[in-house]
Amino acid sequence: MGMKRGLDCKLFYGTAGSQAATELTNCQDLNIELDHEEFDATSRASGGWEEVELGMKRGTLNWTMIQDSADAAYLAVEDAFMNKTALALFITRGDGKGLDADFKITKFSEKQPLRGAVVIDVSARPTRSTRTPQFIQ
């Protein structure tokens, strides 16, 4: 299948230690940042160019939620942030492929616009747990 629409992508949450199975539908914009740690591999043989090698992979999930104290997903994310506890998250394009890990919520930033709903910008990073982070392909 070709192009995917952002609307078709999904974010799931659940109890840390098991794969996330409940869809987090109170989600507006969602993105996943994947990158590698870089380290300097420059030597005198580099011909005047800085050279790098790649180290550990890093992943960050960022999304926006509407503040809704009646929404179980909102409450789970807020609780994980406030109590520094892990939350299972799985982000997928809707095809079962994506990043699956236990995460810590590193950002829970509230926006109170004059017009519109109160929204929360959320960021999450993989954390140490009984599950190794994996990118399902």
Q: Does domain 6-136 have CATH number 2.30.110?
A: yes
- The whole-number pLDDT of residue 36 equals 95
Q: What is the mean pLDDT of the chain?
A: 94
More confident residue, 2 or 118: 118
Say whether pLDDT at 94 is over 90: no
Say whether pLDDT at 104 is over 60: yes
Query: Using H for helix, E for strand and C for coil, what is the string for 20-63?
Result: CCEECCCCCCEEEEEEEEEEECCCHHHCCCCCEEEEEEEEEEEE
- The whole-number pLDDT of residue 6 equals 80
Q: Among positive and negative, which fits the CA dihedral 108, 111, 117, 121?
A: negative
Q: Which two tokens mark 60?
A: 């960050």
Nearest to 120 by CA among 86, 83, 69: 69
What pTM, to 2 d.p., does this model score?
A: 0.89
pLDDT band, residue 79 (cuts 50/70/90): very high
